[in-house]
Structure 1
Amino acid sequence: MLQTKMLEDVEAIIFDMDGTLIDSMWIWPSIDDDYLAKYHLTKTDSFHEDMEGMSYTEVAQFFLDTFPDLDLTLEEVMDEWMDMAYDKYMTQVELKEGVHDFILEMRRQGKKIGIATSNARKLVDDTLRALEVEGLFDSVRSACEVAAGKPSPDVYLLVAKEMGVHPENCLVFEDVPMGILAGKNAGMRVCAVDDDFSRPQEDKKKKLADYYIQDYYDIKKETYEVL
């Protein structure tokens, strides 16, 4: 049985989705660039950093606020992004290395498994079905379903509540600083996960998190970093 310091007193595992549970962050920069080019918009230097952690709905509102000449409704922006991303999620996204085996082991140990994501709920649900893993999770929630996106703890607290687990007994896996902060603000321990998209922020991730892994096999091998 897998027993490590990281898992002591842990009754539930909560995953962020993009960049943490699945390898999908590569999709969004190209969508942003195509979308901006289509409407002749110019992004700021801090564009992606400013959006970090926001829910899908909040990001759409951020676009409308940042580009006031964009004559579209919130729903039109979100629907267009969905059309641009959907096929890639259904056919090209894969689970992060080692995460499937890790989830199965945690379920064998009786731990609850949840997802707290910033992505749109339809995209989340359909992606989990496409990967044939939807039955592995006890709670799946989007930050679009709570008052505020990450770094607010709202979505993490909702998932913990639905699973009937106190925040201090939850272990969060996250790939970006704002997500890590959301887990910490919820009173949970957080393990940062390596991902190509957020690798330039590795030092910041390590300063905020309790643990750091390159992939989920690090947990079994006990080669993760205790921070």
Structure 2
Amino acid sequence: MKEMDKKYILFDFDGVIANTEESNAKYLRQALACFDITLTDEERSKLIGKNDPSLIAGLLSKSLKKVTLEEFTNKRRQIGNTYENSCMEPMPGLVSFIKEYRCKGIKTGIVTSTSTRLIIIALNRMNMMSLFDVIICGDMCTKSKPDPQGYLKAMNLLGARPEECIVFEDSPVGIQAAKSAGAFVAAYCGSGIKQDISKADISVDSFLECHEKIKSLIL
């Protein structure tokens, strides 16, 4: 095997598997508005790719009356969420992309900061559960991205060495997590949200067009 040959492809979920970021922001804004809190674009950008309760606590501190994290979480459950209540579709070309490489013996996985329950619901709604050998979600880890823990867990379960993995990520924290885990990182830019992808190894605009950029890396 050549040093650069890859045998595993790992994906972030939000903004990579499905274009959920705009819908997630909509539901978050609705919940915050119940407590007279406005979400700015800058605040929203800081949340992308992260699962950090301290960031939500900071938003709640903007309310004129004290709002606990439990109260806010209950309100969010009442309002709904992208994964259960919105239209869910995989990114264009993604399913055929995954199937093509799985037919070549490549194993695939998901590493996301979103909770297991919501990811499983979303994958089932999109009929994609059978396309992944491993799924690591935010509540399976003690440390969230940009920490590499999630990617290292996925690699361990797959029996993969870091240098054998390609990771598709869309956010700076996700890219940093994958790079810290030792993987080759392709920044996916198809979600329509501009982010800092400078630390990625390559960038791709679409799963319909990225074969040429990665085919030389695949075993």
Give me the TM-score of the superposition, normalised by structure 1.
0.82
1:177-218 alpha-carbon deviations (Å, 9 max, x no partner): 11111111111011011134522x2xx21x111111111122
1:90-131 alpha-carbon deviations (Å, 9 max, x no partner): 551210011101110111111111000111111100111111
SS at match of 2:31: helix
The one-letter code of the counterpart of 2:30 is D
SS at match of 1:23: coil
Pick aligned residue for 2:119 from 124, 144, 147: 124
- Alignment partner, residue 71 of structure 1: 67
Question: Quick check: 1:148 aligned with 2:143?
Answer: yes
C-alpha RMSD over aligned residues: 2.5
1:17-72 alpha-carbon deviations (Å, 9 max, x no partner): 011011211211211211111111244563123323322xx24x432244245433
- Alignment partner, residue 55 of structure 2: 62
Q: Cα distance 1:213–1:42, how it changes in 2: closer, same or farther (>3 A)?
A: same
Question: Quick check: 1:189 aligned with 2:184?
Answer: yes
- Alignment partner, residue 3 of structure 1: none
Q: Cα distance 1:31–1:173, how it changes in 2: closer, same or farther (>3 A)?
A: same
Q: Give yes or no for contact 2:24–2:81 (8 Å, CA) kept in 1.
A: no
Q: Give yes or no for contact 2:37–2:59 (8 Å, CA) kept in 1.
A: no
- Alignment partner, residue 219 of structure 1: 210
Pick aligned residue for 1:26 from 12, 22, 27: 22
Q: Give yes or no for contact 1:36–1:42 (8 Å, CA) kept in 2.
A: yes
Instruction: Quote the offset at 1:83 in angstroms.
Output: 4.7
Instruction: Quote the offset at 1:223 in angstroms.
Output: 9.4
Return the alpha-carbon distance in structure 1 between the equivalents of residues 29 and 81 of structure 2: 16
Q: Give yes or no for contact 1:39–1:70 (8 Å, CA) kept in 2.
A: no
SS at match of 1:172: strand
- Alignment partner, residue 12 of structure 1: 8
Structure with greater helix percent: 1
SS at match of 2:203: strand
Q: Give yes or no for contact 2:169–2:175 (8 Å, CA) kept in 1.
A: yes
Give me the TM-score of the superposition, normalised by structure 2.
0.85
Return the alpha-carbon distance in structure 1 between the equivalents of residues 69 and 214 of structure 2: 48
Q: Cα distance 1:79–1:195, how it changes in 2: closer, same or farther (>3 A)?
A: farther
Instruction: Quote the offset at 1:133 in angstroms.
Output: 1.0
- Unaligned 5+ segments in structure 1 are 1-7
Return the alpha-carbon distance in structure 1 between the equivalents of residues 7 and 74 of structure 2: 37
Structure 1 residue ranges, 4+ long, deviating more than 6 angstroms after superposition: none
Percent sequence identity over aligned pairs: 26
- Unaligned 5+ segments in structure 2 are none
Question: Quick check: 1:134 aligned with 2:139?
Answer: no
